[in-house]
Amino acid sequence: MNNDTFEPTIIGFTCNWCSYRASDLAGTARMKYAPNVRLIRLMCSGRLDPTFVLRALSSGADGVMITGCHPGECHYIEQNYKALRRFLLLRRVLKGMGIEPERVKLVWASAAEGAKFAAETTTFVEEIRKLGPLNWGKTDGGSQTVDREELSTVHRPSSEMEAIA
């Protein structure tokens, strides 16, 4: 597939207090950004169970954007630090699984940073576009036909992970 015409699908996790409000602000201010990200609102980035990310990637997402309050500004005092810790670990796990860790990104965005939210989203979409489709979970009955053989060499561990995710 030509990466230039590839439109990635991205799941974005947002914190109810900052980044979700940043996305609201981007909307209110009519800022335009790439339409590839679909958001899920959590109460806090600390709620983000890393298996959610694996679930999204195995269900057809090409990338996952995790967003939260800036360090020191967490609505729940310090839970975004826990999100940061999990994010760093998750990236290593992904690498071990043969998935580019760059497919998961962490962005801090306060409720006032609608512009940052919009810009980061657009940048991330371009980054994922360059990486190309992930095609995890599309080996059995997905809409896209993928060479099973090729997939098993590229993303071998992903089929093992499916049971977990």
Partner 1 sequence: MSEKKQERVGVYVCHCGTNIAGTVDVVDVAKWAQEKLGPQGVVIAREYKFMCSSLGQELIEKDIKELGLTRVVVAACSPHLHEKTFRTAAKNAGLNPYLVELASIREQVSWVHTDKAVATAKSKAVVSGAVSRVIENRALDEIKVPINPNTLVVGGGIAGIQSALEIANAGFHVYLVEREPSIGGHMAQFDKTFPTLDCSACILTPRMVEAGTHPNITLLTWSEVTNVAGYVGNFHVTIKKKARFVNEELCTGCGICQEKCPKKVIDDVYEAGLGYRKAVYTPFAQAVPNFPVMDKENCTYFIKGTCKACEKFCPTNAIDFTQQDQTLNVDVGNIVLATGYDLFDARRVSNYGYGRLPNVFTSIEFERLSNAAGPTNGNIVMRDGKTTPKSVGIIHCVGSRDKNFNNYCSVICCMQGLKFAHLVHERTGATVYNFYIDMRTAYKAYDEFYQRVLEEGTLFVRGKVAEVTDAARNEREKGKLIIQTEDTLAGKQRRIPVDMVILSSGLQPRHDAKDVGKLFGISCSMDGWFTEKHPKLDPVATMTEGIYIVGCAQGPKDIPSSVAQGAAASARVLDKILQKEIALEPIKASVNQEMCSGCRICNGLCPFNAIAFIEDDKVTEINPALCQGCGTCVAACPAGAISGTGFSNEQIIAQIDGLLLKNLELA
Residues that bind partner 1 (CB under 8 A): 9, 11, 17, 20-21, 23-24, 26-28, 30-33, 35, 38-44, 46-50, 52, 55-56, 59-61, 70, 72-79, 82, 86, 118, 141-142
Q: What does the angle CA 103 – CA 87 – CA 8 come to, to the nearest 5 degrees?
A: 20
| Gap between the Cα atoms of 111 and 16, Å rounded | 9
Task: Give residues with Cβ within 8 angstroms of 33, minimum separation 6.
Answer: 26, 117, 118, 119, 121, 122
Query: Between 117 and 155, whose beta carbon lies closer to partner 1?
Result: 117
Write down the least CB distance from residue 59 to partner 1, Å.
5
Write down the least CB distance from residue 39 to partner 1, Å.
6
Write down the least CB distance from residue 21 to partner 1, Å.
7
Write down the least CB distance from residue 3 to partner 1, Å.
18
Would the CA dihedral through 102, 104, 108, 109 be positive or negative?
positive
Query: Between 78 and 150, whose beta carbon lies closer to partner 1?
Result: 78
Task: Give residues with Cβ within 8 angstroms of 143, minimum separation 6.
Answer: none
Write down the least CB distance from residue 134 to partner 1, Å.
12
Query: Between 86 and 103, whose beta carbon lies closer to partner 1?
Result: 86
Query: Between 86 and 153, whose beta carbon lies closer to partner 1?
Result: 86
Query: Between 21 and 155, whose beta carbon lies closer to partner 1?
Result: 21
Task: Give residues with Cβ within 8 angstroms of 154, minimum separation 6.
Answer: 98
| Gap between the Cα atoms of 11 and 53, Å rounded | 8
71 C-beta neighbours (distance < 10 Å), count: 11
